[in-house]
Amino acid sequence: MKLIRTTSAMADWSRRLHREGVTIGFVPTMGALHEGHRALIRAARLACDAVVVSIFVNPTQFGPTEDLAKYPRQLRLDRALCAKEGVDAIFAPTAGAMYQPGFQTIVSVPTLARLWEGEARPHHFQGVATVVAKLLSLVQPDISWFGQKDFQQAALVRQLAKDLNLPGTLRVHPTVRERDGLALSSRNVYLSAQQREAAPVLYRALQAGAAAIRGGERRGAFIQRLMAHVVKTERSVTPEYLAVCDPSTLEPLQTIQRHAVLLGAVGLGTVRLLDNMPVTIRPKS
Ligand code: PAF
């Protein structure tokens, strides 16, 4: 397995593989790899001849008061996981290699970045869009994989790739969960034992919302209140947003027609947890 540290070596490697007719699958990550990443890598392994995983804690997507400095970094463990999964190359550039002195181009996807995580984390999605545009340009993948856990990010990256004609197709892989429903995230390591116990309440809230929709409820505001009510059963958990949205625009839905996504973010002390649940109403036959 190759460890690539510079942008030019990354671009050269991809060019060489493409010349040889090899298809490239790409899994962009910030490292601290877990079972959710493993699922993306396995999907890439199945679909493409060669797999590249990028490991880059992208400074431009963190706000000034966020966890950039303490974000888990464990390249040795990540390399071992990748080697075990048959990854062909890890692209782990330094921040200096990705953002050279004088760097000034910022990519923004303003409408999809407006609500939810965009409100809670100003500039976060500009950082994500900019780095994803750079990564896709460097890696030139045939297919890249993103996790559904970050639903808004996946929607925004889809729009970005379409608008800028970025290379390859994009696949979104279903969220991988712990047995009690907690969505896997590199940030779950921040949870204390007590917080970890309370954390699955977000998943239960989304499940309650989805069950109400399947039971015939169509009013967005009602489902939103129901989810908030479930979250409040855990007193240590603060609801940030619990929303019923159109899955393409991410705008709140007053009335659900056919497709919706339930989006949620909660706080546990200083830790924020995100999750979501897409729901489709099947027409009665
Ligand atoms: O989801 C992530 O890990 C990051 O936001 C991504 C897509 C790798 C960009 O830094």
Q: What one-character-per-residue DSSP string does 171-183 give? A: EEEPPPB-TTSPB
| Nearest ligand 1 atom, CA 128 | 9
**∠ CA 231-126-174, rounded to 5°:** 50
From the list 37, 123, 124, 173, the catalytic residue is: 37
Give kind and range of the element (H or E) at residue 44: helix 35-47
Dihedral angle, C-alpha 254, 183, 128, 131, nearest 10 °: -150
Q: Is 29 in the pocket of ligand 1 (CB under 6 A)?
A: yes
The answer for residues whose C-beta is within 8 angstroms of residue 20's C-beta and 6 or more apart is none
* For the CA of 58, the nearest atom of ligand 1: 10
Q: Is the CB of 157 under 6 A from ligand 1?
A: no
Question: What's the pLDDT at 227?
Answer: 98
pLDDT at site 29: 98
pLDDT recorded at residue 284 = 77
Identify the H or E element spanning 52: strand 50-55
Give dist(CA 51, CA 38) in Å, integer: 12
Quick one: tokens of 166? Answer: 């970025």
Q: Which residues of the chain have pLDDT under 70?
A: none
Q: Closest ligand 1 atom to the C-alpha of 157?
A: 7
Identify the pLDDT of residue 231: 98
Overall pTM surpassing 0.95 (yes/no): yes
DSSP strand pairing (24-29 vs 50-55): parallel
58 lines ligand 1 (CB under 6 A): yes
pLDDT given for residue 164 in this prediction: 98
Domains by residue range for the chain, with CATH: 2-173 (3.40.50.620), 186-277 (3.30.1300.10)
37 is catalytic: yes
Enter the tokens of residue 66. Answer: 């966020």
**Distance of alpha carbon 283 from alpha carbon 285, whole angstroms:** 6
Does the Cβ of 150 fall within 6 Å of ligand 1? yes
Q: How far is the CA of 29 from the centre of ligand 1 (A)?
A: 5
The pLDDT of residue 283: 82
- Would the CB of 131 count as within 6 Å of ligand 1? yes
pLDDT at 96: 98
Residues contacting 6, CB < 8 A, separation 6+: 93, 97
User: Encoding tokens for residue 56?
Assistant: 């880059």
* Structure confidence by residue, pLDDT tens digits, 242-267: 999 999 999 999 999 999 999 999 99
